[in-house]
Structure 1
């Protein structure tokens, strides 16, 4: 697993990192830890996908709860663990997706329970599609992290919340592995993930993007009726 720590207190970041590394070593769990000093650093991150983030609620001038709302949209599969010095924040976090709230002074005592919960949720969300890049690298992608797929001559371009990948597999071979409810073909060359759609316009989808950058996916005449019907069906589940 890849775990992030976002806290503006350098001393706490290092302490949290040592605690996580120590516990993971004890239970023989392989983890990689990424540290972020600001909300901006975290939201602009484009490296190896994060499976979980330990997020301070007070990030200088930033509010970690508002940051979490952005993370929920940008990285749906990333689990959030709130950290704070103050218990009163526990009542303010329930309008965001998260798996734990921990008071910092109790972190060492609770780390076992937290890691256990991360692993349990991680195992429940381990469905990934395994693909081969044009450089013969084998990668695995969580479908919910995909913005859209684009057909290319040599394979498929997959744009995700973390990065974009050029893979050998054809789009027609990838799509059957994806949810028919979440994904819809809107063009001969594009398949869009409704989980990331911000707005439907006449001939395009506007998708949420990391660091405030929107993504545009074109809708062709051939697929207008079908993809709009698919999107309305998907949207009706959340009304």
Structure 2
């Protein structure tokens, strides 16, 4: 599911942008089955960022807010908290005093003049996010916090009791564990193709597989993982492609 956030200088302009996108979803220009759109004020976005609850894939924001606040500073905060988020500046004007390139963003366009471009850009981003190549990061939720993990650093994922644990490689000597309450079947949908489920309770990143037999996988950290009978054929076909 792709999450889009919209933040504008006032509620009326926010509603206008949300309506523009939702009308295109009804016309099937934007994928309506895999997208949610949420409205925000600048204050509510800041609260989400402060509380580590910001989890948008695409964020559309105005550049000029009240009291001298601006979208570039907001974008810089989003860049830091959610580096995988695609930011679009959708603005009434581009103030001369702002350098929009101080922050990472995918496009900057003017309201009214570039509505079609906003729809086209958003549609293309959604399509890219739904493709396999986009799954470089995964969002997990635990204790009301949202954490964005780089999938390349996940060695394996294990269901232990009711908690799913993500084992992250920090360096050769250090590892870290993150937690989430979510079934592996749902997590698998958000992972790139190099992740393979080898039992009812374990998913491994094949980039970290050291060796394997028909019954057992040995990870590069020495951990041994049993291959469930139900998953043996899929494991065999996927691990045969190891270089």
Pick the TM interval, shorter chain: 0.5 to 0.7
What is the CA-CA distance between 1:10 and the residue it aligns to? 0.6
Inter-partner Cα distance in structure 2 for 1:177 and 1:90: 49
Deviations 1:16-41 (A, max 9, x none): 01000001221261221111111424
Match of 2:180 in 1: 165
Question: Is the 2:157–2:204 Cα contact (8 Å) retained in structure 1?
Answer: no
Question: Is the 2:159–2:202 Cα contact (8 Å) retained in structure 1?
Answer: no
Inter-partner Cα distance in structure 2 for 1:70 and 1:18: 26
For structure 2, the 5+ residue unaligned runs are 142-146, 168-177, 185-198, 210-219, 224-243
- How is 1:49-60 mapped onto 2 (pairs within 5 angstroms)? 49-60=55-66
Inter-partner Cα distance in structure 1 for 2:54 and 2:159: 24
2:40 is the counterpart of 1:36: yes
Question: Is the 1:143–1:178 Cα contact (8 Å) retained in structure 2?
Answer: no
Larger Rg over CA atoms: 2
What is the CA-CA distance between 1:93 and the residue it aligns to? 1.4
Secondary structure, in 3 states, of the residue corresponding to 1:34?
strand
Question: Is the 2:6–2:60 Cα contact (8 Å) retained in structure 1?
Answer: yes
- What is the TM-score of this pair, normalised by structure 1? 0.55
Inter-partner Cα distance in structure 2 for 1:63 and 1:179: 43
2:131 is the counterpart of 1:125: no
Inter-partner Cα distance in structure 2 for 1:63 and 1:41: 16
Match of 2:17 in 1: 16
2:72 is the counterpart of 1:65: yes
2:110 is the counterpart of 1:106: no
Inter-partner Cα distance in structure 1 for 2:50 and 2:207: 27
Inter-partner Cα distance in structure 1 for 2:108 and 2:59: 12
Task: Return closer, same or farther for 1:119/1:78 CA change in 2, 3 Å cut-off.
Answer: same
Question: Is the 2:88–2:106 Cα contact (8 Å) retained in structure 1?
Answer: yes
For structure 1, the 5+ residue unaligned runs are 134-140, 189-239
Inter-partner Cα distance in structure 1 for 2:23 and 2:128: 21
Query: Which of 202, 205, 228 is the aligned partner of 1:176?
Result: 205
Match of 2:81 in 1: 74
Q: How many residues align?
A: 171
